[in-house]
Amino acid sequence: MATEVASLSHEDCWDMLQREEFGRLAYSLDGEVHIVPINYAVDSGRLVFRTAEGSKLLAVLRGGTVAFEIDDIGDEWASSVIVRGPASELPPEDARWADQLRLRPWIRSEKQYVVAIQPTEMSGLRYRLHRPWTSMFPQP
């Protein structure tokens, strides 16, 4: 029987981060933990996303570490990668290159600030799914 849970290598984590473009950002602001969906891109060993003014940007400007998580779920396997590290707003002259990345807002809103997360910790797991209920219903 194959292993039910396996750790992903550092390279596998980066490969998955480069394939995906949607995840969840967790940050702390005024003693509360927030988690929000974001779309992102990978560039030069860091994760980059756009944001508007609001709590995400305020948390970034106040410094500290953020966490970011992505998933890939298939029929038999699921994988998850978690990244932790400092996030910082990029100054406009350094952020112009973001227009060249696969980094476009998924909703109609102005997101004029570019933020980079510099990973200091990264881990990933791959799980064999056990969902016996899927065989209980006829497949289309």
Residue 1 has pLDDT above 60, yes or no: no
Q: What is the CATH number of the domain that holds 92?
A: 2.30.110.10
Q: Quote the number of domains for the chain.
A: 1
The parent domain of residue 93 ranges over 5-136
Contacts of 121 (CB under 8 A, 6+ apart): 82, 83, 84, 85
Residue 43 has pLDDT above 80, yes or no: yes
Q: Kindly report the pTM of this predicted structure.
A: 0.85
pLDDT of residue 102: 72
At 51-79, the pLDDT tens digits run: 989 999 999 989 879 999 999 998 889 99
Average pLDDT over residues 24-33: 94
CA distances from 95 to 48, 50, 122 (A): 10, 10, 24
What percent of the chain lies above the pLDDT cut of 70?
86
Residue 126 has pLDDT above 90, yes or no: yes
Number of Cβ atoms within 10 Å of the Cβ of 47: 23
